[in-house]
């Protein structure tokens, strides 16, 4: 089966398939393990990928995935069907990731009061500026694109990667992202801008057309 | 407006949060209309986000898939054993 059916846009609510999910949840609540398993199979790769991107290693991503579905199992009654189940699961997963970061004493979850000013005044300057040779639809058809995207994302410092994954990949709002990471809205905005600029730079080096490269110092008329 | 100043407003532009009535936004539009490098940077960023949003999730490692379902099944059995125990105690003899 395709575990991605109807839920490809993450936190954005999607009508398609939601009745089906509500039905699976209802059956799971009444003790039907097959229905519960169907929910797991449907969302497991989304949760695993989310955790894997944030944490950067398999073992931690597996732990977070397992904890997330164990939490679903224990709290099936608390899911009221108000938002998409995927958003609910992603929030649980984000909590688990956060707990892991705190335990490992990572800086990702630490807000930095001076960060806003500091990094706004030293944004990374775009260097390789060129239109891409192909548009995103064409690029997505190529197998190597996924590898390049994962590689570029993995190379970002963790604190920028986390914000990019929540905001741009999973579609959470700036406020939700701030709450999930325990950061201020201002911190999230600055980190997101830096993440976007860094990824743009990396991807344009892969996908940009060197013959159409323009200089950042191009004089204005 | 300089390229540097425009760069700081890129989030608002890309996320559609710029209020086009503000004088600053007019400056922004004017800059963008005549600065090719900035246009290309904005396009590149939009395409970058579009690519990541459309990307496919990774499959679970096969060995983990089996382990995950086994551990969930075990916990499920414990949970429903617990519930039926407490409900049979409640309905008691
Ligand atoms: Zn410019």
- Is the pLDDT at A99 greater than 60? The verdict is yes
Q: Do B70 and B51 share a structural domain?
A: no
Q: Report which of A69, A72, A100 is spatially closest to residue A181, judged by C-alpha positions.
A: A100
Instruction: Report pTM.
Output: 0.84
Could you read off the pLDDT of A160-175 as tens digits, one per residue?
A: 999 999 999 999 999 9
Q: Do B72 and B34 share a structural domain?
A: no
Could you read off the pLDDT of A48-80 as tens digits, one per residue?
A: 999 999 998 899 999 999 999 999 999 998 887
What residues have CB less than 8 Å from A122, skipping those under 6 apart?
A: none
Cα distance between residue A30 and residue A146, in whole Å:
40
A37: left (phi over 0), alpha (psi -120 to 50) or beta: alpha
Nearest Cα residue in chain B from A2 = B59
- Is the pLDDT at A218 greater than 60? The verdict is no
8 Å CB contact of A215 and B35? no
Distance B30 CA to ligand 1 centre (A): 10
Q: Which domain holds residue B12?
A: 1-58
Q: Do B85 and B52 share a structural domain?
A: no
Q: Do B73 and B48 share a structural domain?
A: no
- Domains of chain A plus CATH, in order, are 6-104 (1.10.1740.10), 119-212 (1.10.10.10)
What is the sign, positive or negative, of the torsion defined by CA atoms of A200, A206, A209, A214?
Answer: positive
pLDDT at A18: 76
Provide the chain A residues 57-76 that lie in CB contact (below 8 A) with chain B: 58, 62, 65-66, 69-70, 73-74
Q: What residues of B are in contact with residue A46 (Cβ under 8 Å)?
A: 57
A121 burial (CB, 10 Å; 0-12 / 13-18 / 19+) is: exposed
Cα distance between residue A155 and residue A198, in whole Å:
10
- Report which DSSP code applies to A1: -
- Structural domains of chain B, count: 2
Could you read off the pLDDT of A7-33 as tens digits, one per residue?
A: 333 443 444 467 889 899 999 999 999
Q: What is the mean pLDDT of residues A91-103?
A: 91
Q: Do B36 and B10 share a structural domain?
A: yes
Cα distance between residue A179 and residue A195, in whole Å:
19
Cα distance between residue A135 and residue A152, in whole Å:
18
CA distance B51 to chain A (A): 6
Distance B5 CA to ligand 1 centre (A): 9
Could you read off the pLDDT of A113-150 as tens digits, one per residue?
A: 555 545 566 788 899 999 999 999 999 999 899 999 99
């Amino acid at each position: 089966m395709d575990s991605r059916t109807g839920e490809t846009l993450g936190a954005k609510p999607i009508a398609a398939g939601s009745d089906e999910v509500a039905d699976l949840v209802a059956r799971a609540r009444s003790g039907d393990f097959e229905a519960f398993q169907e929910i797991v199979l449907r969302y497991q790769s989304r949760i695993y990928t989310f955790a894997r991107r944030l944490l950067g290693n398999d073992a931690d991503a597996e732990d977070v995935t397992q904890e997330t579905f164990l939490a679903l199992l224990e709290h099936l009654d608390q899911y009221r069907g108000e938002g998409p189940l995927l958003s609910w699961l992603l929030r649980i997963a984000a909590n688990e990731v956060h707990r892991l970061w705190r335990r490992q004493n990572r800086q990702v979850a630490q807000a930095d009061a001076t960060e806003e000013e500091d990094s706004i005044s030293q944004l990374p300057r775009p260097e390789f500026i060129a239109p891409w040779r192909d548009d995103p639809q064409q690029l997505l058809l190529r197998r190597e694109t996924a590898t390049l995207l994962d590689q570029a994302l993995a190379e970002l410092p963790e604190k920028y990667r986390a914000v990019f994954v929540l905001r741009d990949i999973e579609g959470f709002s700036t406020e939700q992202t701030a709450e999930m990471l325990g950061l201020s809205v201002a911190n999230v905005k600055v980190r997101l801008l830096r993440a976007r600029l860094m990824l743009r730079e990396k991807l344009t080096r892969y996908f940009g057309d060197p013959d159409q490269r323009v200089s950042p110092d191009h004089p204005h008329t | 407006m300089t390229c540097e100043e425009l760069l700081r407003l890129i989030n608002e532009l890309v996320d559609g949060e710029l209020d086009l009535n503000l004088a600053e936004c007019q400056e922004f539009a004017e800059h963008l209309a005549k600065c090719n490098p900035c246009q290309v940077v904005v396009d590149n960023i939009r395409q970058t986000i579009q690519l990541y949003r459309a990307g496919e999730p990774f499959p679970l490692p096969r060995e983990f898939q089996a382990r995950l379902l086994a551990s969930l099944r075990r916990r499920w059995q414990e949970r429903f054993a617990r519930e039926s125990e407490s409900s049979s105690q409640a309905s008691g003899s």
